[in-house]
Structure 1
Amino acid sequence: METSGSATSNHTLTSTGGSCLWDVSNKVKFCRFLCYGSEGDIYTAREEGCFSLENSGALVSMLEDGRGVEVVEEIKKFSRDGQAARLAPSIFALALCSQHEELNTRQAAFKALREVCRDPAHLFCFIQYKKELKRGMKCGMWGRALRNALSHWYNEQDALCLAAAVTKCKQREGWSHLDLLRLSHIKPSKDAIALISKYVTKGWKEVQLAYADKENSEEVVRVLSYLEVAEKVRHSCDETEVINLIEEHGLERDQLLTNHLKSKEVWRALLKEMPLHSLLNSLGKMTSNKVLAPGSSATLTVCERIQCDTVLKKAKIHPFSILLTLENYKRGHGYRGKTKWEPDISVLKAMDSAFYKSFLNVEPTGKRFVVAVDVSTSLSSLVPGTSISTAVAAAAITMIFARTEVHTQVLAYSEGAVFPCSISADMTLAETTVELVKIPSGSTDCTLPITWAMEEDKSVDMFIILTNNPLWGFAASPVETLKKHRQTTGANSKLVMCGLTSIGHAITDTPDRGVLNICGFDLGALNVICNFARDLI
């Protein structure tokens, strides 16, 4: 789709003496940290950061400036609205706020605990971060405020949901529900929560003795029945019984024993209600153990669910996520372990169909994009950590923006020339890939797309430049060229330099807030780009 030169920018240009102010403030650095775990201008795909006081300087500075309540509100926003490419930085930031000396900051952090740490895995992570911070901050940990916050976390849960949670995720990060309930001295707010607390701290036999002859409320009876089922499946060696319990009570994989998962029939029972994310992640395993045999009813069920419009919409599956899974399934073996499989053709077709349907799950930003693909070098190499070639990755990225953003221009560039590409909504991924790679290769010059926009008098909000080659022999800098574009067009233009094969080295280095580097590519990278376009980071 052509970029409209008359489209109005949603940015407000800030200027002093005719020049734009693109300073990177502490607030921006902090929001970048919340988004992807680094205060710098580099997002590295598939990298889990180690967080500490030393690498969260902007956060610390904001707290020292008395902006703790504002900090907590940002943490809540990033975790609640799905803006974070990774949730761990938000949990770390909340833990740091909860240890701060300023009372209002601590109170705000503990009040936000349930909203940020929505499941037990997040909660255990929060407690572990607090333990690690305790050493550096030289402060206490298990005070009344934390005990009260944990009590609220458990007491405010729906009782049946909490029963499921404590049987699915019992411990993480060296912490368990038993640890937290004992250390917080929880005072249950109602009988059903008291029952779950007793189950966790005393065990099922104690619960049976305590509740056998009592007149129990309807809610307590439901929770008792659920816990009885969870206990029964844990101790059952009867395949038929396990299957019946799964089907009648909606039990999930995490509630079963490893031995149960050796049974094909157990897997088939799990399939019926398995969340779509879990199903996609289990395709290789289920094909390997012949649960998904060619033409079987299980395979037909899986194919129907994968490409069901309602299921895709409910799960909010992103097309790039499906593509990653599809390419990994296609190659027939995982990244770790010895599991191998022969990809099923019907599953491949269903995933291909789901890829195109899931574009409806992408929320547009309303900005004006130029997505430019460097074809100066071979696009046959793989994006690190994936099974996707850089050619397919580039094609998928251009499709996502061309299909979801009204004002998008796709370019291929090489050897001093820029070639506008016609990427229409009805083109397949294969057709898009062919459209990009048919351009002759040559030398790399990442300034070409920006220069093209100036020559064509195009006002652009976001330049996304995809390249395999971090080095080029031209003296011009993409950042300096971007500044000229801002001055020429009056647009508040930003630049994302994406090195598809980079493993952590920035293609350009600048203190300009309107420039961001992406090394490699994954689903989180798209999240980062959209946040950047919306001025959130």
Structure 2
Amino acid sequence: MGQTESKVVEWKAKTIPCPELPWNVVDDMDLLRRFLYLGAETMYSPSHVDPEQKYADLIYRLITEERGKEVVKLIARISYRGLAPRQNYIIFALAVCARSNDDETKKMAYDVLCQICRIPTHFFMFVNYCKLESGRSQPPSKGWGRAHRRAVLKWYEEKCKNPEGIARLLTKYKSRKMVTNEGKGKRWSHKDIFRLGHPSSDDELMKVVWKFVLYGFEEAKCLASEETKNSERVRKFLTYIEGTIKAKKCTDEDEMVDLIKRHGLEKEHVPTALVNSNRVWEAIIKNMKPEAKIRNICMISSKGFCGEDSEIEKEIIETITNADILDRARVHPIRVLSALLTYEKGERKDRSRAKNTKEKWEVNKNIVKALNKAYELSFQNVQPTGKRFLLAVDVSKNMRVPCKGCPAIMCNQAAASMMMMTARTEPNCEIFGFSESLTQIHIDKEDTLSQTVEKMDALPSGKADSALPMLWAEQNKKKIDVFIVYTDNIPTDGQTHPSKALEEYRATMNKPEAKLIVVAMASNPYTIADPAKSVVIGSEEATTRDYREINIVGFDADAAIIMAKFIRDEL
């Protein structure tokens, strides 16, 4: 299956000079949209990158131009729809709006805080960014003015509408450290925020929450018995908190399982003494979301809980082989592939311990089979765009290294998976392998990952010329909407730069809208898309030589999602 014989045709480029295309004007709001998605203008990286101050300046400029409302509405729309792969850029932009001197923008930013910062991790991040922005203001301030304190109080009051929900958030997310690029950062806790914000509320549950956060469960219980004896909300809150306290002191498996089932407790509530209990994990895993089950398969297996015919094995297989569940959870093929390839190895680096220690487990053939099925099923979640594609993958030996950002997957495997995904969903797609020459690869919809990688490996290796796809399309008069180049991190070794080749193609074919995505899968910050064509921020009119090129530095499932949005003109 998938081994259709085809004639292999190699093609080498002949270049011709071409005049440059004019610059495209890019609006500041477009730049902001790019930042909210990518954290940059024309590049996405799976590595953590702190937002640059120039993007705060961009937002302040828009607010000065009386576009603050538009800014907040854009931030809220992208956040509500779950369109951005990371929340930190969204929350940074919201904090900048909240720190602005424009009262209307500030009010709008605080009004949407509860909806955007849904969990304490995001809320702590917002408070941290607000503190940093206040420190940069002239004169610097502590950032805990009246409006900020009111917003903090409102966040907790909104969460108090669900008594068990606020109890879960306070006990699951007790504190979080906000890490910078240098590895430094401040740890924020609910207690820190209550001490700085001095929230004062007439809400009966909020009073008990305040007492619990600052002084503990017994003080909160005393306050409740004195002032709110008959409150059902307070009773539910205290019952959940009491359940988590009992769980932390629990040493009996049966009691712990009962607490998990009764209160819906999660792994963060399990005491160290029972963290390796099979029965406890059987109860916990039933509360996990599909993607969390996939993500935690290796960890659960390393504890010996995922053996053949075990209850946990049955629960995992039943979830990840259900097409409807995967579709509702929007599980991406690359996430499943990463879990599959990691699990098949039977070991991985233990990130919670010393550098040289590893988590190991016995590979369960039933789990491998289920993950393979989940991988195939997850392709059904990918929506076609109807565009005309030319995909080109670097077939040099440099691609046989781990992806930056997703080390479980080799670059050639990731490229093969992405080509399979496009071949299965897009009716107009041409696929090539390239090194010093360009060779067509015929990928059938039934091809497996290993068969696709074999077809790539069968092609001649050599110095990679990443301009060949555009040059070939130009000389053969092919109408292409999107060029995607998958490579490692090396610059082009051809005579023509890929961006220049794209300009020539656009001019010759009269297709100024043609796009180029360069995916440098093992890359350092250098990529082969033209660095001279980055967007200018800080001038009165922000411009770019080429707004329809994007660089992916490294690779993960979020990178694949970003690529799809770029292709659909959603960035």
TM over 0.5: yes
Deviation at 1:252, TM superposition (A): 0.6
Over the aligned positions, Cα root-mean-square deviation in angstroms equals 2.5
Say yes or no: does 1:43 pair with 2:44. yes
Gaps of at least 5 residues in structure 2 are 1-18, 178-186, 534-545
Q: Is the CA contact (8 Å cut-off) linking 1:454 and 1:488 kept in structure 2? A: yes
| Equivalence map 1:97-496=2 (5 Å) | 97-137=97-137, 138-157=140-159, 158-159=161-162, 160-173=164-177, 174-188=187-201, 190-212=203-225, 215-335=229-349, 336=351, 337=353, 338=357, 339-385=359-405, 386-419=407-440, 421-468=441-488, 470-491=490-511, 492-496=513-517
Q: Which residue of 2 aligns with 1:7?
A: none
Question: May I ask how many residue pairs the two structures share in their alignment?
Answer: 518
Counterpart-to-counterpart distance in 1, 2:363 and 2:292? 18
Change (3 A) 1:18 1:521: closer
Deviation at 1:70, TM superposition (A): 1.9
Deviation at 1:398, TM superposition (A): 0.9
SS at match of 2:439: strand
SS at match of 2:483: strand
SS at match of 1:268: helix
Q: Is the CA contact (8 Å cut-off) linking 1:36 and 1:43 kept in structure 2? A: yes
Which shows bigger deviation, 166-175 or 398-407? 398-407
Deviation at 1:443, TM superposition (A): 3.5
Deviation at 1:190, TM superposition (A): 4.4
Change (3 A) 1:334 1:377: closer
Counterpart-to-counterpart distance in 2, 1:55 and 1:108? 19
% identical aligned pairs: 32
Counterpart-to-counterpart distance in 2, 1:320 and 1:69? 37
Which shows bigger deviation, 247-256 or 317-326? 247-256
Change (3 A) 1:60 1:535: farther
Counterpart-to-counterpart distance in 2, 1:50 and 1:471? 26
SS at match of 1:388: strand
Deviation per CA, 1:234-293, whole angstroms, max 9, x where unpaired? 222222211111122221112223333132222222122222233223222221221112
SS at match of 1:355: helix
SS at match of 1:517: strand
Deviation per CA, 1:196-223, whole angstroms, max 9, x where unpaired? 3433233221233333475524444333
| Equivalence map 1:71-90=2 (5 Å) | 71-90=71-90
Q: Which residue of 2 aligns with 1:510?
A: 532
Deviation per CA, 1:80-129, whole angstroms, max 9, x where unpaired? 22222221111111111111112222112111211221111100011111
Change (3 A) 1:215 1:383: closer
Deviation at 1:54, TM superposition (A): 4.6
Counterpart-to-counterpart distance in 2, 1:451 and 1:286? 50
Counterpart-to-counterpart distance in 2, 1:72 and 1:501? 35
Q: Which residue of 1 aligns with 2:13?
A: none
Change (3 A) 1:272 1:473: closer
Deviation per CA, 1:413-461, whole angstroms, max 9, x where unpaired? 3333331x33333322222222333222234221221123234433222
Q: Is the CA contact (8 Å cut-off) linking 1:99 and 1:139 kept in structure 2? A: no
SS at match of 1:172: strand
- Counterpart AA for 2:169: A
- Counterpart AA for 2:551: N
Q: Which residue of 1 aligns with 2:15?
A: none
TM-score by length of 1: 0.89
Counterpart-to-counterpart distance in 2, 1:516 and 1:75? 21
Counterpart-to-counterpart distance in 2, 1:406 and 1:21? 32
SS at match of 1:497: strand
Deviation per CA, 1:302-342, whole angstroms, max 9, x where unpaired? 22222222332232211111111222222233333322223
Change (3 A) 1:209 1:67: same
Counterpart-to-counterpart distance in 1, 2:272 and 2:295? 17
Q: Is the CA contact (8 Å cut-off) linking 2:134 and 2:142 kept in structure 1? A: yes
Change (3 A) 1:225 1:448: same
Counterpart-to-counterpart distance in 1, 2:499 and 2:134? 42
Deviation at 1:343, TM superposition (A): 2.2
Counterpart-to-counterpart distance in 2, 1:428 and 1:375? 18
SS at match of 1:418: strand
Gaps of at least 5 residues in structure 1 are 1-16
Counterpart-to-counterpart distance in 2, 1:422 and 1:22? 36
Change (3 A) 1:438 1:24: farther
Deviation per CA, 1:2-60, whole angstroms, max 9, x where unpaired? xxxxxxxxxxxxxxx99554345433332232122224x23223x11123425644334
Say yes or no: does 1:69 pair with 2:36. no
SS at match of 1:422: coil
Counterpart-to-counterpart distance in 2, 1:261 and 1:376? 46
Change (3 A) 1:364 1:170: farther
SS at match of 1:109: helix
